[in-house]
Amino acid sequence: MASHKKVIKIEEQVTLQQLAAKMSLKATDVLMKLLSMGMTGVHINSTLDADTAKILASEFGWTVEDVAVSEEQSLTAATEVVGKSDEGNEPRPAIVTVMGHVDHGKTSLLDRIRKASVAEGEAGGITQHIGAYRVETPRGTLAFLDTPGHEAFTAMRARGASVTDIVILVVAADDGVMPQTREAISHAQAAKVPIVVAVNKIDKPGADAEKIMRDLSSLGLQPEEWGGDTQFVHVSAKMGQGIDRLLESVQLVAEIQELRANPKKRASGTVIEALLDRGRGPVARIMVQDGTLRTGDVLLAGSAWGKVRALTDEMGRSVAEAGPSTPVEVLGLNEVPSAGDPVHSVKDGKTAEEIAETRRKKAKTLIPQDSRVSLEALTKNLQEADQLELKLIIKGDVQGSVEAVVHAVSKLSNEKVKVTIVSAGVGAITEGDVNLAVASKAIIVGFNVRSAGKASQLAESEGIEIRLYNIIYNAVDDIKSAMEGLLPATKVEKQLGRAEVRQVFKITKVGIVAGCMVIQGTMKRTAEARLVRDGAVIWSGRLSGLRRFKEDAKEVEQGFECGISLDGYHDVKERDIVECFDIEEIKTKLF
């Protein structure tokens, strides 16, 4: 029997190097033993599961004890209700997700339902950030979750289905079943969530509701009038037709499900969206699914935790508590959680911190030191190796976008190139990201964000490539083209000038004019432009006016003041940065 000294405690998994250190042995000796046992494709940084570690350690006379169950046990203990815990469950509102193909009227339908516009400011007409809100109907309350409609955002939409009770599938009567429609159905069916079909645009010429019903019945959605169990409702989001009947159908399905929750329990739910706000710190928008969340509660969200400082509802109003099926914005976490993370209200901060730390350790990935690569160099290097690893650091404006980009590029791995995501996070590209890219030899991909501070100068001096995008397909296409060795003429952004907004004027017949100081380069009237606020791009387009005093100017040099008006955009604030740039096409040199 092994003595006390010959016992190693591990949590679920351990790296070969860590295991060797615990046994006071050389990592190479332990690796050789593992290879002699028939394991292939392993190295000293390989992660071993508990079973493998037990067998390997026993070869050296050690016993491995797996203490990983502690997290689940401590979470159960920390979320137990003190006092009257079994007062019975009460009915709760259904959480409804609206899914469907892009341009099928999903956003318009939501607008009709909640009588408010969410379409403004969306890049490329795609709802890129998930929103949630409660809607009062004649038959009761419904909570709506709005997920993106494009196939590249599969990860976000799949998560929406896992949080939801009912799916409204929007299909345009004049267009029919599209690939994204099939995708939405498969997500809902996999999550065993009932579907109510909204056949939209029924007022348009060429609308064929019967064809939609035939097509969907072949995908397992048999209409009720044909003897099936799926409700089909004909609607027109534009005309407001059939909306009441749709909500009635959803409530009917909800009543059949008999959804219940116990508001007296500690809150549990899911992170829908998370971002880093410059003034407020980490902000998490969560859907409370059971129990009640109150200000002052200690909250655990994935590997983030903190005391709830403030709760805000979807209308921006402060609330003291949020019951079951309530979306709410939470302030007070120590870091930005990931969208889709489970949320639990726990009894004390110490337990929350311990569980969060355990989760963080599990999530830590080892970054192998490999040769640096740029997209252009990748094509050339493909001829010299069997398989290359393309490492990426992804930064985005909100967690949902980051997750969608990660999901889209992760699918690009093939037998020649393996795509590895070294790090993915929210916020502007920082010097820390560049240093991580240097250490891991990665490329930085920015989605709707800019470089902060001296990050771009550091990247230039270190030879790190930063690629900035505001449309996901461009990022995916660039990476894919490089991997296929077919990189076309590269569109390179040539920075011309930057101006800081010092004062905003409202001028009759002209509109909003930003009084700016050119702080770098030259501002050109004909160049492309973008507006940057707190490191994030909030508008891009062209300048509609550039003035020096009262005269129109073609360009204004660094150190001079000027008046700038942006084409079709008026929400300019002091301290915003206006950047202007040219797009140059450069032929890729492969040799």
Which pTM was predicted?
Answer: 0.55
> Is the pLDDT higher at 543 or at 317?
543
pLDDT in tens, 267-286: 888 888 888 888 888 888 88
Q: Which residue has the higher pLDDT, 289 or 376?
A: 289
pLDDT tens digits along 440-493: 778 898 888 888 877 888 888 778 888 888 887 788 888 777 666 544 456 778
> Average pLDDT in the 311-324 region?
85
Cβ(291)–Cβ(263) below 8 Å = yes
Alpha helices per DSSP H over 6-48: 16-22, 27-36
Tokens matching residue 234 = 């004909």
Q: How confident is the model at residue 207 (pLDDT cuts 50, 70, 90)?
A: confident
476 sits in which H/E element: helix 472-483
For the ranges 99-113, 141-155, 453-467, 509-523, the one whose mean pLDDT is highest: 509-523
CA atoms within 13 A of residue 585's CA, in its CB half-sphere = 3
CB 274 within 8 Å of CB 285: yes
Q: Which helix (H) or strand (E) holds 512?
A: strand 511-524
Residue count (the chain): 591
232 pairs with which residues across the strands?
Answer: 197
Q: Where are the beta strands (DSSP E) in 368-452?
A: 388-396, 417-426, 443-447
Please report which confidence band the pLDDT of residue 386 belongs to, taking 50, 70 and 90 as the band edges: low
pLDDT at 482: 64
Three-class secondary structure of residue 459 per DSSP: helix
Distance CA 126, CA 102 (A): 7
- The per-residue DSSP string of 95-119 comes to EEEEEE-TTSSHHHHHHHHHTS---
Q: What is the mean pLDDT of residues 491-514?
A: 88
Amino acid letter, residue 461: S
Instruction: State the pLDDT at residue 501.
Output: 94
- CA separation for the pair 323, 92 (Å, rounded): 9
Q: Return mean pLDDT, the chain.
A: 78
- Residues of the chain above pLDDT 70, percent: 80
Neighbours of 357 (CB within 10 A): 12
Residue 211 is which amino acid?
K
